[in-house]
Amino acid sequence: MALVEYEKKGNHLVVVRLNRPEKLNAFDMDMTVALGEAWIRYRDDDDAWIAILTGTGRAFTAGADKSWFDMALKGQDSVGIFLDLTSKDPYWSGHLDKPVITAVNGFAIGAGLDLVLRSDLRIAGESAWFQQPEVERGNFMLFNDNLPHAIAAEMVAGFRISAKRAYDVGMINRVTSDEKVMDTALELAGELLTRVPLALHHALKTLRDIKNAGTVVPRSMIDQYTTTLSKALMNTEDFKEATSALLEKRKPTFKKK
């Protein structure tokens, strides 16, 4: 059984599924490596335009497997090993320039919450919840996703946040019934796939780059960059196809060119 399933669907869509349900999809070393390999496969497939990340069973992921803590108690640099592995993962390292939707079933704890916050769009079931419990174990994780200070402080202090609260504070995009989490994610992906793919790619990438900049980016710099990019997009085949289809009142066919 694959620890991370990679399913290529039709119409340029990929589903990446954490698949260790007997351990609530907790990350051991092997699963961490497997997830990185899945993202490399997605990154390198020019025919894969959008990915959905979800989990098998009753949890998105419980975060770190106890094996990491066993390593730490034995004096091994478990944090260093984990960071080395994730630095090779395009998604976890922040170098994946393709859209990702997370479909959160159950709960997302610790590193699992980090996976959610790195995605572009986020769906959660009504019973889903999010937590960074590291402070309960004498450590902490800091990833606030540009959220308001009060919410980021609540998270790093270990409080549990429900799906409804996460939606209310802007952490996630949709809350749906538990049984419709994946259906909702597929519907959202389907809608995104009707957009001009290069335009969508660069729009989300620009937002992602600004979020990950680590500093305030001057508005003039953003305007200059987006204007240059917009002019370039107007010379692409897909821009011409989208414009022609609009004028001719037909459905466009895009090539991401």
Q: Which domains does the chain have, with CATH numbers?
A: 4-192 (3.90.226.10), 197-248 (no CATH)
Say which amino acid occupies 92: W
Say which amino acid occupies 113: L
pLDDT score at 74: 85
pLDDT score at 117: 94
Return the number of other C-beta atoms located less than 10 Å from residue 56's C-beta: 18
pLDDT score at 59: 95
Question: What are the E-state strand segments in 86-201?
Answer: 100-104, 107-109, 121-125, 129-131, 161-162, 174-176
pLDDT score at 73: 84
Q: Is 120 helix (H, G, I), strand (E, B) or coil?
A: coil
pLDDT score at 136: 79
CA angle 184, 189, 192 (to 5 degrees): 130
Edge to edge, the sheet with strand 129-131 lists 107-109, 129-131, 161-162
- The pLDDT profile of the chain, 257 residues, written as one tens digit per residue, is 899 999 999 889 999 999 999 999 999 999 999 999 999 999 999 999 999 999 999 999 999 888 877 877 888 888 888 888 889 999 999 899 999 999 999 999 999 999 999 999 999 999 999 999 888 777 777 776 778 899 999 999 999 999 999 999 999 999 999 999 999 999 999 999 999 999 999 999 999 988 888 778 888 988 898 999 999 999 999 999 999 999 999 999 998 99
CA torsion sign, 212 to 158 to 16 to 31?
A: positive
pLDDT score at 144: 66
Pairing of the two strands 107-109 and 129-131: parallel
Roughly how many angstroms between the first and final C-alpha of the chain, as a whole number?
37
pLDDT score at 85: 87
- Rounded Cα gap, residues 122 and 161, in angstroms: 15
Nearest residue to 72 (alpha-carbon basis) of 138, 142, 158: 138
